[in-house]
Structure 1
């Protein structure tokens, strides 16, 4: 590739405008670079050297606006480490004095009152504000998953989440988030564990202890996703991803045997239990709790 073009991309973090590129190489050369995917079109009139990853796309927006754009919603949640939804689109705030237009893979928001912080050199809406704003747009189970993940990330605490809820008072979905706040628990280790816990709570089960630790007869520490220690009843969520293969199957059986030796009843949970048959899941767990009370 032309040395001048390489230098241009290096100076600007891997992005350049069409005008800048054509000042260095011919239009035919640019077309050849695009055909070979050496250079890729990121946004209208903006090109990137190499794969258009999130960072490069954001730098392309910076170049378009002439300033560093602020990320929000799922993009900010991703920076903080609590994006539970895997939204591939970029979410940014429209810069003051600019008219940044939405495009494929780009969602432009207008938000007033959002606190800003710097994250790895990129301005973003504050973590608690971001968590609440994302949660407002989701169904209750996923909203709780986002709030749990935000708390688990260590980027915010319950007090800051409550403050963010107050600041967003009157906005769509905020009542749902306010009602979920008392249930938020950073010990939930996955979004589906959050969803399963909400099923249990909505079903009227006693509040489970999350990530309950016990020591088995061999002195090994065992952690239970959901536990009712007084009843020695536990529930374990099986994602399928971490329980595949002979080694994983052996570990699961060893854990189950160790818990049974200690007198624990373990209820396995899969995604269909949570999303398709929540009532049956609640009845199954409750039956074991009642049986242990009567024993």
Structure 2
């Protein structure tokens, strides 16, 4: 039976002197939704201060699969701790490393989750001083995101040139009811919601969504639902749809903003055609 990523991280950090679980592996150990593949297929990511060979005795061979990915780095003691019997980077350092080394949507999704668990956003921003692109990535983080896919949605819209949306928007509905929108622009009464498989596929789910969104429309809101298959395959179409809805609801972008949006739409569609 395949050992869990946590068990393999324990074994690797014990076998390799001075090693520390880092990046997505560390985020997983801290309890985050951080992996882009099955846990069984994910290698242990290690930070080591110098090149190191992993012992490959017969007793450990099976437990070590699918191996490890080594990042040579000397970590200051303040960035290393022990959690669940694993030597691991601290939440703040893990969030910073993921923002620095992962594609922006993935990195921001992990940072969002750490912010929800109490990591200091200002401390992360101070770490990024002098690195403009990294500062921009960390500036996109928002603890209001309730899932990685909601983060992806927000990053796609912002990178598409749209104004930054607010997360978890409270809407008061008739009958003392409340609704919380994933993200949107209250000043334009426009919301965008991610409809994942888990909570939006059964007949009961669909009936609940229809009833809730009818109430939101009656309260003056326009809602754009986004299915899982739209992100990231049809992200350019989504940005265009949301931009048009914002304009219809009163947003008046400056000419430079329109130029930027059109340029990013063109670039995204050109990349999709190459795929």
TM-score range, shorter chain: 0.7 to 0.9
Shift of the 126–289 alpha-carbon distance from structure 1 to 2, 3 Å rule, reads: same
| TM score, norm. by length of structure 1 | 0.70
**Which residue matches 1:132?**
96
* Worse-superposed segment, 247-256 or 88-97: 88-97
What's the Cα RMSD here? 2.8
Asked if 1:162 corresponds to 2:113, the answer is no
Q: 1:92-241 counterparts in 2 under 5 A?
A: 92-94=46-48, 99-100=53-54, 104-114=66-76, 115-154=79-118, 156-166=119-129, 176-241=133-198
Aligned residues: 237
SS in 1 for 2:196: coil
Tell me how far apart the structure 1 counterparts of residues 154 and 30 of structure 2 sit (CA, whole Å): 24
SS in 1 for 2:187: coil
Asked if 1:80 corresponds to 2:30, the answer is yes
Tell me how far apart the structure 2 counterparts of residues 90 and 103 of structure 1 sit (CA, whole Å): 9
Tell me how far apart the structure 1 counterparts of residues 240 and 6 of structure 2 sit (CA, whole Å): 47
**Which residue matches 1:3?**
none
- 5+ residue gaps, structure 1: 1-39, 41-50
SS in 2 for 1:93: strand
Tell me how far apart the structure 1 counterparts of residues 13 and 110 of structure 2 sit (CA, whole Å): 28
> Using CA pairs below 8 Å that are at least 6 residues apart, which structure has the higher relative contact order?
2
The alpha-carbon deviation at position 68 of structure 1 amounts to 8.4
| TM score, norm. by length of structure 2 | 0.74
SS in 1 for 2:135: helix
- 5+ residue gaps, structure 2: 56-63, 252-275
Greater C-alpha radius of gyration: 1
